[in-house]
Structure 1
Amino acid sequence: MRAGFSIRAISAVLLAGASLAGCATMPQSGTVASAERAGEDAYVAALVARMSTERKVAQLIQPQINSFTAEDMARYRFGSYLNGGNGGPYGDEFAPASEWLRLADEMYDASVRPLPNGEPVIPTMWGTDAVHGHTNVVGATIFPHNVALGATNDADLVRRIGQATAVEVEATGIDWDFSPTVAVAQDLRWGRAYESYSEDPDRVATLGAALVEGLQGRPGDADFLGDGRVIATAKHFFGDGGTTDGVDQGEVTGDIDNLVALHGRPYPAAIDAGVQSVMASFNSINGTKMHGNGPLLTGVLRGRMGFDGLVVGDWNGHAQVQGCTNTDCPQSLLAGLDIYMVPDDWRGLMESLVRQVNDGTIPMARLDEAVTRVLRIKYRAGLLGPEAERPSTRGVGGRFDLLGSAEHRALAREAVAASQVILRNDGTLPLRAGANVLVAGSAANNIGQAAGGWTLEWQGSTEYDAAQRFPGATSIWQGLELAVTQRGGRATLSADGSFATRPDVAVVVFGEEPYAEFAGDRRDLALRDEEGLTLLRRFREQGIPTVAVFLSGRPMWMNREMNLANAFVASWLPGSEGAGVADVLTGAVPATGRLSFGWPNDCTGRPVARSNRALFPVGYGLASGQTSAMPTLGESCTALVEGTGAALFGSGRLADGVRVRAGDGSMLSQLRGAAADGSITARGFDRNAQEDAREIAMRAGSQIAFLAAESSTDAWRLTYEVLTRPTAPVTLVTGTDGGATATFDVTQQFAHAEGKGFREMLITDQCAGQLGDLLAFRTAANVTIRIAGMERVEVAEGTACAF
């Protein structure tokens, strides 16, 4: 149990010279009561005074679990660590909950091994991105993403979701959640728009504070940061939702007071709710990267807003500060950062920080201040004290029955139903009892697509085996099948829309495929996957009424689909409980969802926030059974006429329709994973941003093929790096998949490129016998390459190939 104890008890601990603490949670408020704060400060100060410089610096270092071992923890004593979006215990991102807890215990035990000379040992803590439930872990409840919760506008619901998430996180031994995102998204082209509750800063402030209270408990309550609670993080400070053209990690410009009034609005609310940590943003404000922005990290966040917790960096975010690298950045600490998130290069950063403290570049007072903040949060959360407990015996640690429990799934189903927004309806909804319902679209029975990004893997996937990866979950199809049958009707699943018996109504489920962060940035808001559009057209031609269920992380231009559908529902990214969608479609639960973002009337992507250009404004949504006028909407979209451009792979993501296939026939979704026979392994690589490139290891005798969505005579251009010099032939193959191909020996070119960093490869018809939809590499030797970009480009006739 984690319970508070008195100032007298704290004093006794100090007098005894104790170095460990575990259950030291005291009732807190937005500003800690003076007597309690004095005891807290004295306790932490006594520990800091006995720590060496090396141990202090280690408290500021946060590596990822894939890049260090328990022995590294015992040697260096990191103050915290994290699992990245694609990181799992012992290298298995799909590991069972028991393995997550085993690793938590292992790291905790390593962090509290005795140190020489009486130096205090400080337990470590584990942070994770549980942004819509504890979705890194198989079997966890997958709640709707924030964009959907914003449509509920229900703070109590969000608070209960926060508490359920905290319970599931603590059950696996993790202490700290990098959530909630309190961005005020103003441009729907932004790849993180679904992490924002609303374009309205007041709604974001209210719901963000509610999630903080759910995760941590309310300040002053007996269970604040106690059992079944975890440390919360308001992120990303600040302005991440206001970048120019919606570019992730980009630039925010404007009068600073106006920016604070809009994008900073949620932070005082989160601070009043007791949030213990704030994460710095990747973006710049008026030219200065936030990870090095002292006037904002220290002046505004701490001075003006009164935040007294810790500031943690984002994934190598400090390296984006001018003059910094992953391993050298005193500027961030001096600006107000307290913890560096340095996933892989932790050793080099530790060494440079120690050196900079010793030579005076970083004042000891600033180091002590940062360490004090880290220890203070551990103390408040009951992770630091004389009754220290391992994660498996702390709170609900090891209670795997709570992971994806019936109670939590019912809560998620409630949230799904409350978030559905009916935008158009001619009376087709709710579905008539006893109806013959056809459910069409490949997304209808795909929980991965309904869950979106940050689900099991960083980018999510549509290719998960539901029984293995989502045990206990319910797809939209499964929810509809049960609901329709219970009401005396018949439901049939047909992904392609075919049928033997004419249905009374067709429900078409379609939308965006999963993405996260910059991989979701768009140039416009036109959905180019026309599966849903094609199905709606076919049903319209057959005279069959339709209900369009649109899965997306943001409002998008849907004029064509709305013109064809008899009813249109914005379903967002509902997660693991698809029955909540069925509840609203059948009328079992009233439709109460209302837009928290304006819906665009054109496909350009021009921001509609705080403008009069929205097709449907914030607050719009039809009640159950309510019908709406159905005027024909304009279908002109210049972006579709111009096409998507020639980019096939960039910013860590394959373009729509692009596929990657290993020689054994295995498909590598998003250019990640391994071939079934192990001949090809592709993993994320950080070039300029997190996993914006891929490292591909090819065994002798293997092949990897890139298949474009369309055949073309344009040249192929790749940004690539060769890590290992080939010792046997490497051959490039071009042509058409299943048709004619041509080969070209690139062994010499690869040998020349080895060790020279990233460079460009241009494949034209001057070296390739023909150009089509296929580009492949075959190798007779073990070869490792990295690819950061791939595109089709027009070149002048006669342009030579280049490597």
Structure 2
Amino acid sequence: MKAYWLATAAALAAAGCTTVPGDVESAPAATAVSAEDAVVTDLVSRMSLERKVAQLIQPQINSFTAEDMRRYRFGSYLNGGNGGPYGDEFAPASEWLRLADEMYDASVEPLANGEPAIPTMWGTDAVHGHTNVVGATIFPHNIALGAAGDADLVRRIGKATAVEIEVTGIDWNFSPTVAVAQDDRWGRTYESYSENPDLVAKLGAALVEGLQGRKGDPDFLGDGHVIATAKHFFGDGGTANGVDQGEVNGDIERLIALHGRPYPATIAAGVESVMASFNSINGRKMHGNEALLTGVLRDRMDFDGLVVGDWNGHGQVAGCTVTDCAQSLLAGLDIYMVPDDWKALMETLVAQVKDGTIPMARLDEAVTRVLKVKYRAGLLGADAKRPSERGYAGQFDKLASSEHRAIAREAVARSQVILKNNGVLPLRSGAKVLVAGTAADDIGQASGGWTLEWQGGSEYVMGGDAGKNGALFPNASSIWDGLKEAVTGKGGTATLSPDGSFSARPDVAIVVFGEKPYAEFAGDQGDMVFRDEEGLKLLRSFREKGIPTVAVFLSGRPMWMNRELNAADAFVASWLPGSEGAGVADVLTGARPATGRLSFSWPADCSGKPVNGPEGALFAFGYGRSLEDTSPLGQLDENCLALESFDSSELFGSGRLASGVVAYAAGGNLSMASDMLAQMRGTSSAAGVAIRGVDRNAQEDAREITMQPGSRFGILQPDGGSGAYRITYQVLGRPTGPVSLTVANGDQATTIDVTREFQHAGDKGWREMVVTAACAATLGNRIEFATGSKLTFGIASVSREDLPEGTECTF
């Protein structure tokens, strides 16, 4: 790198500046700006076409190696929600840092002919703490921070998160989400601070300042700070019917006034990156919307950082594919997030610059934007360091440090919203407390999506309690842990009973229940009804016995809960608190006041219509009780037609198994717990089956299943089901041995030889299989594939439906 810095020093001298980039930060502001321009202009002038294009390419760590980095010199890279160093999603923090060094070293190896070697940068989704990494602090999700409503608290969370990110050598955080969610059926509602755009703007700007430092301060983007990203520009929270990646329609100025309002605040706070949204605005995908990406974000809002795409989002633009989309760059995108197909996209972009489809001026503009952000982040300069040599790098005791956990605990306590209290709260000293519900001692469920795994911390864990209090959450306390400590500390007794059974009658029962973890489109719902009745049954059971109850509801959104509200003596909206369950206990025991207030209106009925204000709200925006408020809540209407008309025919779709449906792998006894494959992902070595998420129409909305000879893979509906099976599938390669499909109901089973069908389908893309009574007399609650040779195939959806009698089977 020495030759490069000598050349840069000469360029600076020619520009009237005699210092090298490492000394620029102490210079006056006007000089610093000119130094930035001089350094970046010099670099761009000496880069080859191929190296310029590489600055715009962002692959994921699962799909390339350090050798690929050395050859192609990607400007940045990311770890997806299910990606970890060296293929290990649960790798220790030291491995994340080791990989950061390897990639950095590969990116700065000297190039021939004096071409500058530009350091790469690593981006991650640390959306509620550095939660891809085992042992990091897990802060409450944004919806909870909206209920706390304190910008200083959010700023401190941002700072703590930045420190933990830097510990592992990562440069860039894809956060904060500043969506103004307007339809809580949306699966990303919990990533939004509020339905109120002003509150979103205030808290989003605060997180930017926490992550990057305050603009103009000496430590801005210095040690203990990382690049922030405001996302997703724009309208992601306003899609019709709350459908993720869907359509936003309306007068453009009104849409900008609502969904665009947080962006000027984050830009004023100095945010260096903005991520384009998946959704469309009035029929046009944002990844190809020049009027908004350039005309509004750049020209009107005066944003001067870089615009990064979302996961293959450019491939959704009209006329584009994942490997061919000049439209996005021309519209104002600066970096393509192209997790797997990076090589083909690079080749296409190079060819499009050469043939004039993409003007060289636009390419240089995008590269300049990327390099300016790197310059501001200290990645370009004489003082630039390897990831392991920076500020807090390698200080693994900073992960979930006592200081950071204390901030998280405070955030949990301040986000608890009491909706009902008949006087059972605060818990009295000396009380005998029973804690019920399977979620009470499940840190993964309390943390929600984007925790270790994309879809949630306990979703994909196989074998025992690792998803609760085991090795995956070493620096965390569950809600049960917190309650036990708090209750016994006040002279009482606490007993954990997930099913609610007891021998000694308790004075009060706390029932912890709620939504299972999900992320993005997998969390989309057709209405706002909460159907899981575990908590309801427990609450009603205790009421029948005359035992006072406290409902602690874990969720990523307000939901229609009239039945549970009626059954409980106290009801607490606990959101997704994360790793510090003691913060819940702090409020329930009165150690801290109840100050949380709803940042989203709570629905009065179960119609599913959006509620964004007092009309139709049971509890309006800003509602929340103090512990002293024991005014009665009248009996609520429990009638809900949606409970009766719910369509549960889809067993697997949009990357999720339906509630209650399980997937399993077997080489022997299928009842073995280790054979269960939560959310149809994971590896069962004993059974010889491995399943990974793959993209069909959206991120990991399908599965690729690899089976070894003699293995079996199946899907089971424990509660039954009816109708023919309709399966969207593809076969990768031609199986060389027999393949069978068994349809079973208990001991009754029909086995169909599908060898010829699978051989014919090999490498011919997605197709549909319909299994009816014509070929399977037993249309039971289980389907199972078995193979006599190695078999790789994909499944995108599995559903059941009633078809006319005599409908033939098709493959």
- Per the normalisation by structure 1, the TM-score is 0.97
Report the AA paired with residue 673 of structure 1. Answer: G
Q: What is the CA–CA distance in structure 1 between the aligned matches of 2:252 and 2:292, rounded to whole Å?
A: 9
- Answer yes or no: is the 8 Å Cα contact 1:433–1:488 preserved in 2: yes
Give the Å deviation of 1:734.
1.1
SS at 1:785 equivalent: strand
Q: What is the CA–CA distance in structure 2 between the aligned matches of 1:516 and 1:22, rounded to whole Å?
A: 42
SS at 1:506 equivalent: strand
2:47 to 51, 66, 75: 51
Q: What is the CA–CA distance in structure 1 between the aligned matches of 2:422 and 2:290, rounded to whole Å?
A: 55
Residue matched to 2:3: none
| 365-374 vs 629-638, which moves further | 629-638
Matches within 5 A, 1:726-741: 726-736=735-745, 738-741=746-749
Residue matched to 2:689: 680
Give the Å deviation of 1:280.
0.1
- Structure 1 residue 596 corresponds to structure 2 residue 596: no
The C-alpha deviation readout for 1:732-765, integer Å capped at 9, x for no partner, is: 11122x4322211111111111111111111111
Report the AA paired with residue 786 of structure 2. Answer: R
Residue matched to 1:772: 780
SS at 1:662 equivalent: strand
2:702 to 693, 705, 712: 693
Residue matched to 1:760: 768
Matches within 5 A, 1:266-665: 266-462=262-458, 463=461, 464-610=467-613, 612-664=615-667, 665=672
Q: What is the CA–CA distance in structure 2 between the aligned matches of 1:798 and 1:594, rounded to whole Å?
A: 57
Q: What is the CA–CA distance in structure 2 between the aligned matches of 1:574 and 1:270, rounded to whole Å?
A: 25
- Answer yes or no: is the 8 Å Cα contact 1:328–1:353 preserved in 2: yes
Q: What is the CA–CA distance in structure 2 between the aligned matches of 1:50 and 1:630, rounded to whole Å?
A: 70
SS at 2:25 equivalent: coil
Give the Å deviation of 1:555.
0.4
Give the Å deviation of 1:34.
4.0
- Answer yes or no: is the 8 Å Cα contact 2:288–2:314 preserved in 1: yes
Report the AA paired with residue 320 of structure 1. Answer: Q
Residue matched to 1:221: 217
- Answer yes or no: is the 8 Å Cα contact 2:694–2:702 preserved in 1: yes
Report the AA paired with residue 722 of structure 1. Answer: V
- Please, what is the CA RMSD of the aligned residues? 1.7
Q: What is the CA–CA distance in structure 1 between the aligned matches of 2:509 and 2:479, rounded to whole Å?
A: 14
The C-alpha deviation readout for 1:547-602, integer Å capped at 9, x for no partner, is: 00000000000000000000000000000000000000000010000000000111
Give the Å deviation of 1:290.
0.2
Residue matched to 1:14: 12
Give the Å deviation of 1:23.
4.7
Q: What is the CA–CA distance in structure 1 between the aligned matches of 2:401 and 2:647, rounded to whole Å?
A: 43
- Answer yes or no: is the 8 Å Cα contact 2:69–2:107 preserved in 1: yes
- Answer yes or no: is the 8 Å Cα contact 2:313–2:337 preserved in 1: yes
Cα pair distance change 1:69/1:683, threshold 3 Å: same
SS at 2:471 equivalent: helix
Q: What is the CA–CA distance in structure 2 between the aligned matches of 1:339 and 1:104, rounded to whole Å?
A: 20
Cα pair distance change 1:656/1:23, threshold 3 Å: farther
- Structure 1 residue 243 corresponds to structure 2 residue 239: yes
Cα pair distance change 1:22/1:527, threshold 3 Å: farther
- Answer yes or no: is the 8 Å Cα contact 1:21–1:383 preserved in 2: no
SS at 1:328 equivalent: coil
SS at 1:84 equivalent: coil
Give the Å deviation of 1:780.
1.1
Q: What is the CA–CA distance in structure 1 between the aligned matches of 2:348 and 2:688, rounded to whole Å?
A: 39
The C-alpha deviation readout for 1:710-741, integer Å capped at 9, x for no partner, is: 323311111000113222211111122x4322
Q: What is the CA–CA distance in structure 2 between the aligned matches of 1:57 and 1:611, rounded to whole Å?
A: 51
Report the AA paired with residue 808 of structure 2. Answer: A
Residue matched to 1:669: 678
Q: What is the CA–CA distance in structure 2 between the aligned matches of 1:90 and 1:196, rounded to whole Å?
A: 32
Residue matched to 1:200: 196
Residue matched to 2:114: 118
Cα pair distance change 1:23/1:142, threshold 3 Å: farther
Q: What is the CA–CA distance in structure 2 between the aligned matches of 1:16 and 1:254, rounded to whole Å?
A: 52
Which ranges in structure 1 are unaligned for 5 or more consecutive residues? 1-7
Give the Å deviation of 1:465.
4.8
Q: What is the CA–CA distance in structure 1 between the aligned matches of 2:635 and 2:644, rounded to whole Å?
A: 20
SS at 2:470 equivalent: helix
- Answer yes or no: is the 8 Å Cα contact 2:613–2:621 preserved in 1: no
Moved over 3 A (4+): 8-18, 20-28, 32-35
1:786 to 794, 797, 802: 794
- Answer yes or no: is the 8 Å Cα contact 2:286–2:293 preserved in 1: yes
Residue matched to 1:26: 25
- Answer yes or no: is the 8 Å Cα contact 2:666–2:687 preserved in 1: no
| 396-405 vs 144-153, which moves further | 396-405
Give the Å deviation of 1:396.
1.0
How many percent of aligned residue pairs carry the same amino acid? 70
- Answer yes or no: is the 8 Å Cα contact 1:25–1:382 preserved in 2: no
- Answer yes or no: is the 8 Å Cα contact 1:656–1:709 preserved in 2: no
Q: What is the CA–CA distance in structure 2 between the aligned matches of 1:21 and 1:569, rounded to whole Å?
A: 57
The C-alpha deviation readout for 1:231-267, integer Å capped at 9, x for no partner, is: 0000000000000000000000000000000000000
> How many aligned residue pairs are there?
791
- Answer yes or no: is the 8 Å Cα contact 2:730–2:764 preserved in 1: yes
Q: What is the CA–CA distance in structure 2 between the aligned matches of 1:229 and 1:469, rounded to whole Å?
A: 26
Give the Å deviation of 1:678.
5.2
Which ranges in structure 2 are unaligned for 5 or more consecutive residues? 1-5, 462-466
SS at 1:429 equivalent: coil
Cα pair distance change 1:603/1:696, threshold 3 Å: same
Residue matched to 2:134: 138
- Answer yes or no: is the 8 Å Cα contact 1:166–1:214 preserved in 2: yes
Residue matched to 2:464: none
